[in-house]
């Protein structure tokens, strides 16, 4: 069957004829989404994206798979080219660094990083979508060209070139990007040393889960990967083409290149300079309409603070899926609509070779930190009927609140289809589902897809017993 890309009817098109000048700072996910959506809704308005980078509208999340060689051309990562934007009437200005927001005058100050010229642009509405940048550890001679980060598309293209001429690569950090890069490097038969300050990689998971992930990585890395936990890099010494790594605990070795993947921070400097309020997490504070405290200034994407819909607390979780949704909500509100972004659940998924790793809501440690009397159950079960040839295992952890019996979160790992179960929980979390209610879920069953009582239901049944 050829399933065509069916027409997605744009019900908003030309709904009203507001004519405005809309400036957007940043154009990766949130900025590009805002631009595209607002231009469709207000076709007569002027829409500009300013970015200091080389590219707009690309999938950052896809870069590890480009580096791995899962596809050959980085241009596949471009969601919409500059030419396509211009054709739809959206003006793209690359190598243009916005240095100041003059909110009283409704102007921004922009530096052309090629010519060093300056200019001012007026706006009716301004959207800050400046994203996030890597946190650079505080070690010596960070200037070496053998030290990479992975944030922009240009970073990704450079990092792949660097990988190709290296034999041994050090990754500092053990989060999502770090693990995706381990996969990419192992696929390219590179030796990898990963240095992570926590006892296990993926410290955003509970340790009963993250320890299993770390075991899997070590056992499925063709002998190429070494993980150093509970240690940090204290010094990097550049010796011609080789880097000497020295850790805080005194371990030393040589490596060909280093990738710093020890976290990111929101880009908020021009916003806070302009008097835009930041939240407790340090990211830009916005309401559910994506408005900042200054009138006609919106912010969306990785530079903004979000609300965790389970704990109802402010959090900062920068993710591409959220950025896209926030961009859409900002655009609708700018265009005179009324749309709210209610928050996030911290849902995420990543792959390491055949292992799927996913989470939603709160982990047990996050739940305890948020003040819940958390009760959890972790079980391992087959993802489909045991007699099916493609059967795999999943380990699922559910966390609930002892008092209300409300589900707080789920984590799943395994070579089986775990993220399916986590997404199922995430919709329940939206509405405050209890463990008892989850047991009533009528999930699809057929031997190639699940066991007759799915692991999600089994785990909820055991959790219910534990709660009572």
398 binds a copy of itself (CB under 8 A): no
Contact region with a copy of itself (CB under 8 A), list: 130-138, 144-152, 265-273, 374-382? 374-382
Strands (E), 337-385: 348-352, 355-361, 374-382
Is 61 tagged catalytic?
yes
Contact region with a copy of itself (CB under 8 A), list: 90-98, 110-118, 186-194, 427-435? 427-435
389 binds a copy of itself (CB under 8 A): yes
Q: How many residues sit close enough to a copy of itself to count as binding (CB under 8 A)?
A: 98
Other CB atoms within a 10 A radius of the CB of residue 279 amount to 18
Minimum gap (Å) between residue 250 Cβ and a copy of itself: 31
- Is the torsion defined by CA of 87, 90, 95, 96 positive or negative? positive
Contact region with a copy of itself (CB under 8 A), list: 48-56, 189-197, 230-238, 453-461? 453-461
- Residue 47 and residue 36: Cα distance in Å, rounded? 9
Contact region with a copy of itself (CB under 8 A), list: 1-9, 42-50, 143-151, 255-263? 1-9
Looking only at residues 248 through 287 of this chain, which bind a copy of itself when binding is defined by CB under 8 A?
A: none
What is the DSSP pairing of strand 96-102 with strand 107-112? Answer: antiparallel
Minimum gap (Å) between residue 352 Cβ and a copy of itself: 10
Alpha helices in 291-417 (DSSP H): 320-334, 364-369
CB-based burial label for 105 (10 Å; 0-12, 13-18, 19+): exposed
Residue 101 or 192 with smaller CB distance to a copy of itself: 192
Minimum gap (Å) between residue 410 Cβ and a copy of itself: 10
77, 153 Cβ separation under 8 angstroms: yes
Contact region with a copy of itself (CB under 8 A), list: 60-68, 112-120, 225-233, 255-263? 60-68
CA-CA distances (angstroms) from residue 238 to 139, 196, 253, 257? Answer: 12, 21, 12, 10
CB-based burial label for 263 (10 Å; 0-12, 13-18, 19+): middle
Q: Which of 61, 300, 303, 415 is catalytic?
A: 61
CA-CA distances (angstroms) from residue 144 to 172, 235, 240, 244, 446? Answer: 15, 12, 10, 12, 55
x/- track of binding to a copy of itself for residues 211-250 (CB under 8 A):
-x--xx--xx------------------------------
Minimum gap (Å) between residue 1 Cβ and a copy of itself: 4
| Residue from the set 19, 71, 87, 254 that interacts with a copy of itself by CB under 8 A | 71
| Residue from the set 88, 121, 247, 393 that interacts with a copy of itself by CB under 8 A | 393
x/- track of binding to a copy of itself for residues 73-112 (CB under 8 A):
---xx-----------------------------------
x/- track of binding to a copy of itself for residues 16-55 (CB under 8 A):
-------------x--------------------------
Cα distance from N-terminal residue to C-terminal residue, the chain: 50
Looking only at residues 309 through 368 of this chain, which bind a copy of itself when binding is defined by CB under 8 A?
A: 309, 319-325, 328, 341-351, 355-356, 358-360
Minimum gap (Å) between residue 350 Cβ and a copy of itself: 5
| Residue from the set 50, 66, 85, 200 that interacts with a copy of itself by CB under 8 A | 66
DSSP-based three-state secondary structure for 339: coil
Minimum gap (Å) between residue 177 Cβ and a copy of itself: 11
Contact region with a copy of itself (CB under 8 A), list: 84-92, 109-117, 128-136, 391-399? 391-399
431: which residues sit within 8 A by CB, 6+ positions away? none
Q: ∠313-314-319 over CA atoms, to 5°? A: 120
Q: Residue 274 corresponds to which tokens in the numbers above?
A: 């302009």
Q: Residue 232 corresponds to which tokens in the numbers above?
A: 């940090």
Looking only at residues 163 through 192 of this chain, which bind a copy of itself when binding is defined by CB under 8 A?
A: 176
Give the length of the chain.
Answer: 468
Q: Residue 401 corresponds to which tokens in the numbers above?
A: 């609140």
Strand order in the sheet with 147-148: 147-148, 257-260, 168-172, 191-196, 225-229
What are the residue numbers of the active site? 61
């Amino acid at each position: 069957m050829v399933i065509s890309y069916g027409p997605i009817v744009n019900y908003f098109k030309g709904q009203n004829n507001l004519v405005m000048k809309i400036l957007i700072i940043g154009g990766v996910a949130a900025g590009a989404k805002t631009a595209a959506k607002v231009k469709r809704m207000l076709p007569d308005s002027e829409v500009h994206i300013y970015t200091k980078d080389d590219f707009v509208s690309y999938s950052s999340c896809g870069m590890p798979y480009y580096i791995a060689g899962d596809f050959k051309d980085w241009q596949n990562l471009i969601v919409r080219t500059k030419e396509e934007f211009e054709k739809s009437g959206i003006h793209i200005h690359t190598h243009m660094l916005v240095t100041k927001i003059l909110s009283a005058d409704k102007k921004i100050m922009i530096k052309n990083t090629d010519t060093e010229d300056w200019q001012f642009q007026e706006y009716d509405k301004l959207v800050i979508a400046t994203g996030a940048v890597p946190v650079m550890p505080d070690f010596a001679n960070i200037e070496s060209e053998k030290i990479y980060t992975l944030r922009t598309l240009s970073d990704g293209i450079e990092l792949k070139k660097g990988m190709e001429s290296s034999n041994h690569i050090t990754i500092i950090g053990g989060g999502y990007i770090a693990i995706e890069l381990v996969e990419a490097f192992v696929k390219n038969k590179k030796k990898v040393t990963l240095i992570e300050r926590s006892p296990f990689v993926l410290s955003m998971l509970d340790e009963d889960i993250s320890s299993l992930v770390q075991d899997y990585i070590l056992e499925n890395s063709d002998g190429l990967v070494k993980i150093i936990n509970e240690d940090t890099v204290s010094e990097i010494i550049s010796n011609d083409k080789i880097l000497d790594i020295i850790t805080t605990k005194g371990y030393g070795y040589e490596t060909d290149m280093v990738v710093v993947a020890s976290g990111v921070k929101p880009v908020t400097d021009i916003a806070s300079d302009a008097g835009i309020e930041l939240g407790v997490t340090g990211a830009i504070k916005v309401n559910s309409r994506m408005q900042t405290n200054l009138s006609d200034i919106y912010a969306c994407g990785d530079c903004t603070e979000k609300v965790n819909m389970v704990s109802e607390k402010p959090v900062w979780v920068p993710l591409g899926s959220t950025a896209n949704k926030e961009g859409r909500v900002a655009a609708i509100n700018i265009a005179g609509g009324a749309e709210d972004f209610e928050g996030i659940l911290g849902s995420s998924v990543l792959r390491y070779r055949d292992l799927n790793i996913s989470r939603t809501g709160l982990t047990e440690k996050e739940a305890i930190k948020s003040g819940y009397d958390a009760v959890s159950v972790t079980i391992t079960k087959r993802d489909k009927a045991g007699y099916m040839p493609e059967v795999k295992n999943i380990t699922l952890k559910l966390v609930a609140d002892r008092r209300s019996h409300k589900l707080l979160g789920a984590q799943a790992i395994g070579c089986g289809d775990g993220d399916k179960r986590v997404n199922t929980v995430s919709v329940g979390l939206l509405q405050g589902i209890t463990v008892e209610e989850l047991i009533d879920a009528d999930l699809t069953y057929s031997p190639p897809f699940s066991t007759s009582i799915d692991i999600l239901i089994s785990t909820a049944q055991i959790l219910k017993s534990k709660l009572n």
